[in-house]
Amino acid sequence: MKNIAIIGSQWGDEGKGKMVDYLTQKKGIDIVVRYQGGNNAGHTVVVEGKKHAFHLLPSGILYKGKTCVIGNGVVINPAILLEELKNLESQVGEKHAQLLISSKVHLIMPWHIIRDSINSGKVGSTKRGIGPTYMDYVGRQGIRLIDALDKKRFTQRIREELIWNKKLIKLMSKHADTAKELNEKKIINDYWQDLSAIRKNPLVKISDVSQFLSQSQEKGKNILFEGAQATLLDIAHGTYPFVTSSNPTIGGIYTGSGFRPRNLRVYGVVKAYTTRVGKGPFPTELKDSLGKQLRKVGNEFGTTTGRPRRCGWLDLTIIKYAKLINGFDALVLTKLDILSGINPLKIAVGYEIDGQKTDIFTTDFQKLKKVKIIYDELPGWKEDITKARKWSDLPKNAQRYIQKVEDFTNLPVELIGVGPGRKEIVSR
């Protein structure tokens, strides 16, 4: 199969960026597509010891000659996109991919960020305006990039939306002055300037992405879909209401890009332990010193907000659930090196809820509050595994850990991340 989807199977931050980067190269990918989310995401790719963090740009952007796509399901903040493009150019010159942006993307406007900040406590959002932008998208009030290509049309849409948003923010906020931050002239000028600069960039093109993808499929191009966030943060299939506002799961690819469902191999990315940022249930969370150790050794701090991530044992009931939702064909296990030196290792293989046993995760947070977790205990390993490149380089107990994942999920683990660098991967 020529097309690939990379989907997070837990609560995000599984290390998808690095695997996108690796598979783009290994599988001769021509086009890398982001289909949902916005700058709430953070993808890190380490190339020659240098860290590149992207929030909006697809991780494939470091490959000159390829095309990266921001699909219609993504929400964009033009100032952030411009900044990322500038940073990219200052780091790699013009050695990066072409960027095609769907004219149907919705714009994150200043009022969305204010509304998100007022409401962020509820789910611990990233305060980037993502939720309110999707609210207006679904409420048919959003401003799309297509509205912003003509200054008159853009100005009119901003005026219309400002009237309503000022009223709304006054209602929402305890601080009477919050709505005054919204200066019509400044918003129009800033956005117009940023969008003009983006459009002038010779490597950027704005068009209807679905047509481009359709033609590319006909020409037999290899397309990779890069999910942001993950299955349990999905608005439909995640731990609602503690979720993001888009669909990182498989359906999001079709609604968020216009790709036709053909020839798609779906990889689930699984971190060797579990992490979560923000609020919401997390049954295998470790609130003790081991949790702190995972955070420190695994550098588990948000790429976008810098917030410490909550850490815990690997929960295979989650991976089974994610397989069911996304139809995974194979798994990619990341950050296995972080577990070196921990003994024994625990893996959740089932829950007992009100006396009933199950081996598939439930997203009902009332039930999650009272689960009794059934763990399997496995022996750990002491060796540094960052130099391992093939299966036989891994200690027996690390192999056993991986085999446990395979047996439980009935899926092959094809790639294993053993360090942050581009090459620190065991491929099978």
Q: For binding to ligand IMP (CB under 6 A), which residues are involved?
A: 12-13, 40-42, 123-126, 128, 130-131, 228-229, 233, 242, 244-245, 277-278
Inter-CA distances, 206 with 35, 37, 160, 164, 253, Å: 15, 18, 24, 29, 19
Out of 13, 21, 116, 337, pick the active-site residue. 13
State the Cα–Cα distance between residues 245 and 234, nearest whole angstrom: 7
Shortest distance, position 159 Cβ to ligand IMP, whole Å? 27
Report the DSSP pairing between strands 356-358 and 330-334.
unpaired
Shortest distance, position 17 Cβ to ligand IMP, whole Å? 10
Do 372 and 348 contact (CB within 8 A), yes or no?
Answer: no
For ligand IMP, which is the closer residue by CB, 238 or 419?
A: 238
Q: What is the three-state SS of 358-381?
A: ECCCCCCHHHHCCCEEEEEEECCC
Do 272 and 93 contact (CB within 8 A), yes or no?
Answer: no
For tokens 């971190």, the residue is 271
| 13 is annotated as an active-site residue | yes
Q: Count CB atoms within 10 A of the CB of residue 73.
A: 28
For ligand IMP, which is the closer residue by CB, 244 or 397?
A: 244
Instruction: Strand 223-226: give its sheet, edge to edge.
Output: 204-207, 98-102, 67-70, 31-34, 223-226, 3-8, 264-271, 330-334, 413-417, 425-427
For ligand IMP, which is the closer residue by CB, 226 or 337?
A: 226
Shortest distance, position 131 Cβ to ligand IMP, whole Å? 4
3-state secondary structure of 52: strand
| 96 is annotated as an active-site residue | no
State the Cα–Cα distance between residues 83 and 104, nearest whole angstrom: 21
For ligand IMP, which is the closer residue by CB, 126 or 216?
A: 126
Report the DSSP pairing between strands 310-312 and 274-276.
antiparallel
Out of 21, 43, 116, 237, pick the active-site residue. 43
Shortest distance, position 250 Cβ to ligand IMP, whole Å? 18
For ligand IMP, which is the closer residue by CB, 75 or 286?
A: 75
Shortest distance, position 277 Cβ to ligand IMP, whole Å? 4
Shortest distance, position 303 Cβ to ligand IMP, whole Å? 7
Report the DSSP pairing between strands 98-102 and 67-70.
parallel
3-state secondary structure of 27: coil
For ligand IMP, which is the closer residue by CB, 233 or 322?
A: 233
The residues annotated as belonging to the active site are 13, 43
